[in-house]
Amino acid sequence: MADKIKFALALSLLAAGVVGFYLLAEQAMILRILAVLAGVAASVAVAWFTEPGQRFFTFAREAVGETKKVVWPTRKETVQTTAMVFVFVLVMSAFLWLTDKSLEWVFYDLILGWRK
């Protein structure tokens, strides 16, 4: 029950930051943005102390760790893969165009005789 109250408080703080943005319409834009950022920061701080918040931050930390383990392709591999995809698209477009024109010729000229 305490987590639900904390989560509701976090959402209220987030909403307060957004409402503050609109209430400070006459102020400088930097103050309006700071109001939103303060609401977000307060909301995150309160959410941090909830059990779902702790699970989320643990998940985020593990996701960053997994991202660091990824072996990213080199520039050469990326260029080669892009070139293969481009050539494949060109070959498939030529094949589909030839298929379309062949079927058009078969149906309209041979079978239906509409182009005579």
pLDDT per residue as tens digits for the range 12-55: 999 999 999 999 989 999 999 999 999 999 999 998 888 888 99
Confidence of residue 115 (pLDDT cuts 50, 70, 90): low
- 57-89 residues labelled b (16+ CB within 10 A) or e (exposed): eeeeeeeeeeeeeeeeeeeeeeeeeeeeeeeee
Predicted confidence band of residue 116 (pLDDT cuts 50, 70, 90): low
Predicted confidence at residue 15, as pLDDT, reads: 94
**3-class state of residue 70 by DSSP:** coil
Distance CA 84, CA 4 (A): 53
Question: Mind listing the pLDDT tens digit for each residue in 88-107?
Answer: 999 999 999 999 999 999 99
Domain boundaries, the chain: 2-69, 72-116
CB 39 within 8 A of CB 13: yes
